[in-house]
Structure 1
Amino acid sequence: MFSFIHLLPLFFFLSLAAAYNVRPTFNVLSYGAHANRFTENSNAFSRAWTDACASNTGGRVLIPRGSYVLGPVEFEGPCKGPVDFIIKGTLEASDNPADMFRDHWITFRYVDWLVVTGGGFLYGHGRKAWPHNDCAKNSHCKSLPYTMRFDFVNNSRIEHLNSFNSRSGHFNLFSCHKVEMSYIRISAPYWSPNTDGIHIGLSTQIRILDSIIKTGDDCVSMVTGSQDIEIQRVQCGPGHGFSIGSLGGSKNEDPVSRITIRDSSLKRTQNGLRIKTWAPSSPTLASDIIFDNIVMINVNNPIFIDQQYCPHNLCNSKAQSNVQIRNVTFSGVRGTSSSQFAVKLQCSRNVPCEDIKLKNINLAYHGPEGPVASSCINAEGRSYGFQLPSGCL
């Protein structure tokens, strides 16, 4: 017999849905923000965030259409409920010289159940900052700000955002857990310095999906403590490719493991699929890495393990890395290389690479140096299926 008690789960579900739908909206215009391209709006944005974060049911911070100048701002939790940060308009970095050498522009910190979305635009105005980036020749160079940082953010989504001309990297994830990024559009010139698209460190269960990254440095870089990272359907180029590392530059680095990049493409990038470690280096581990179904279009160094990474040529060429690289699969990598050596596995003499697998590799080269080739140093593993260039394992 049907009774009222059978309706209780439905009522509970509807009450949750109703609670979500009635979450209050905190419009930054109501806090004094002005979309006039010259008023600095950090205080208005901060007050809207504070009220949304303090709402018992959670809240929605709304940035309507228009252009808002914003200085460095931090949105901190923990919050009492979920918060949606909805960017409909355009956020433009302040040109105040005091804001130039900061490690952040927009930061979310200590927040759970955050959604950042809206289809809006982030303009870092990096062209004003790039002349100050002299890190290639100055080891004491000053930091430039990432466009958007996420520190200690969990169970969250970042989606439908557009980032242009960051001063340093575009997005940085530090110590985050269960974060999904999708439908992200990133753009900066190929020559812009240190403009990583998405940089990940000490973070777990991160997914990056259905995005386009055109920038001057790594499209996605994963450093110490990056674990359970999944990248799918991402278009990269220009840029430096998908990079794991650099690793081993500091003591006691956490391992990097369980990285999967698949169903993606690279076009005219400096590197393709790269694992890079310092030499000399402190010991750590990079393992359980899969690159699958990747299309290359005129990519330099399409498959590259570089355990002699030294970007400014200040290293001892005889030094060896102590980073162990283990269980790495390159499968279904195909297209064209802009360099003769389409496969380069340059591993460490101290800790040779172990269990490297090349499966169905088809990379053509049509340049003047000769036929496409591969090079393997201190690399142990096997080749399977079709191999162009012929396998060196």
Structure 2
Amino acid sequence: MILILIFTFFYHTSSFASNPSYNVKSFGAKSDGNSDSTKAFLSAWSAACATTQPASIYVPPGRYLLRNAFFNGKMCKNKAITIRIDGTLVAPSDYNAIGNSGTWLKFQRVTGVSISGGTLDGQGTTLWDCKNSGKSCPKGATSLAFYSSNNISIDSLSSLNSQMFHILIYSCHNANLNNLKISAPGNSPNTDGIHLQQSSGVTITNSRIGTGDDCVSIGPGNSNLWIENLSCGPGHGISIGSLGWDVQEAGVENVTVKMATFSGTQNGVRVKTWARPSNGFVKHVLFQHVVIVNAQNPIIIDQHYCPGDNNCPTEVSGVKISDVTYQDIQGTSATQVAVKFDCSKASPCQGIRLENVNLSYKNRAAQASCSNAGGTTAGIIQPSSCLY
């Protein structure tokens, strides 16, 4: 019996020692929402990075004021850090404190980082007011950004009132985003819920997003994306683009969006490219099992994006769009044209497929509009297809 007790003691002691946990309060963090806790969080990060064993950083209940925090993985030995948040991280109320930096909470060159739970409060209201007034204002800061990182996870996180993008995934591989709640008013500028760029193997599931811009925006260089069980509204829907700003630009391929709901959004599912020369492309995209409630543009490809007719000398997009499938798309349009394929005459859309699409406008027939778009249909198609 004594030997068993000794073995049990050393087993649990060894397990505890090999999986250390760092409470940010132990490093001086204050949960009053007013004291700057940035150094405490970075110190906890440094401690977790110093060990090669799986480690956790714990944020207890309360409100923690953070200024710009850069979690650098370049010298981090640890490839399995979990940040468990039971509290709220609060940005400074003065937007000038972080608004010129571009990012509030930044992770770069990290591997195996997981963020679980908690709330991010970007306190973006005063910056939005500044922008909407037409005054000269900072661009604003993305609340949470991952750059050049691998095998990351964000689960059960809420993000409120970000100054700009809520979450940015840039040049990352294998990212799992699940059960997110992202919220900002419909008139908040540039508050994209999740922006993806130059990334692969990103999965977004079981999330609710309502913002003043795209719920999910997919920029150049993305591949193998999976978005499932997403609720969007208010916002601009899910957008692939804007693409084609640069002549030499990486394309977008292998994107699946399924079981998504759009309520009162500007767009449902959109592909958008600048009217500029480019070698970019969009291919192998599936929009499946989508419900749309009163979106202004339920299904749209816009290859003539050129706000203010500036920086678009040719007004012809070079981005090649092919193999885009719309399968089981149901709902209502807030405008009469529910399906619009406005493709480039230089690179017409090819391989567009509509299958069981049923969209109405004020309980009557909606319309479809096509320009330079070719493809096929199957099943019930309302409005009637205009593909050639």
TM-score using structure 1 length: 0.91
| CA pair 339-43 structure 1, distance change in 2 beyond 3 A | same
| 2:97 alignment partner in structure 1 | 98
Q: Which structure 2 residues correspond to residues 132-171 of structure 1 after superposition, within 5 A?
A: 132-133=130-131, 142-171=138-167
| CA pair 352-68 structure 1, distance change in 2 beyond 3 A | same
- List runs of 5+ in structure 2 lacking aligned partners: 1-10
Q: Which structure 2 residues correspond to residues 1-393 of structure 1 after superposition, within 5 A?
A: 22-78=18-74, 79-81=76-78, 82-96=80-94, 97-117=96-116, 119-133=117-131, 142-314=138-310, 319-366=315-362, 371-393=365-387
Is the Cα–Cα contact under 8 Å of residues 58 and 80 in structure 1 kept in the other structure? no
The whole-number CA distance in structure 1 between the counterparts of 2:17 and 2:346 is 58
Between 1:108-117 and 1:310-319, the stretch displaced more is 310-319
The whole-number CA distance in structure 2 between the counterparts of 1:133 and 1:354 is 39
Equivalent residue letter for 1:296: I
Task: Tell me how far 1:153 sits from its aligned partner.
Answer: 1.6
SS of structure 1 residue aligned to 2:25: helix
The whole-number CA distance in structure 2 between the counterparts of 1:168 and 1:184 is 17
| 2:8 alignment partner in structure 1 | none
C-alpha distance after superposition, 1:350-389 (max 9, x if no partner): 010011001110001017xx74100110001111110100
C-alpha distance after superposition, 1:203-232 (max 9, x if no partner): 000000000001110000001111000000
C-alpha distance after superposition, 1:276-331 (max 9, x if no partner): 00002322111111000100011111000000112344365961100000110011
Task: Tell me how far 1:95 sits from its aligned partner.
Answer: 2.8
Equivalent residue letter for 1:295: V
SS of structure 2 residue aligned to 1:290: strand
The whole-number CA distance in structure 1 between the counterparts of 2:309 and 2:254 is 31
Is the Cα–Cα contact under 8 Å of residues 157 and 179 in structure 2 kept in the other structure? yes
Is the Cα–Cα contact under 8 Å of residues 20 and 57 in structure 1 kept in the other structure? no
The whole-number CA distance in structure 1 between the counterparts of 2:179 and 2:241 is 24
The whole-number CA distance in structure 1 between the counterparts of 2:280 and 2:289 is 28
The whole-number CA distance in structure 2 between the counterparts of 1:349 and 1:158 is 41
Equivalent residue letter for 1:362: N
Is the Cα–Cα contact under 8 Å of residues 67 and 97 in structure 2 kept in the other structure? no
The whole-number CA distance in structure 2 between the counterparts of 1:308 and 1:257 is 21
| 2:4 alignment partner in structure 1 | none
TM-score using structure 2 length: 0.92
- List runs of 5+ in structure 1 lacking aligned partners: 1-14
The whole-number CA distance in structure 1 between the counterparts of 2:145 and 2:311 is 31
The whole-number CA distance in structure 2 between the counterparts of 1:24 and 1:384 is 57
| CA pair 251-366 structure 1, distance change in 2 beyond 3 A | same
Between 1:174-183 and 1:76-85, the stretch displaced more is 76-85
Is the Cα–Cα contact under 8 Å of residues 126 and 166 in structure 1 kept in the other structure? yes
SS of structure 1 residue aligned to 2:40: helix
Q: CA RMSD in A?
A: 2.0
Q: State the identity %.
A: 38
* Residue-pair matches, total: 372
The whole-number CA distance in structure 2 between the counterparts of 1:124 and 1:244 is 25
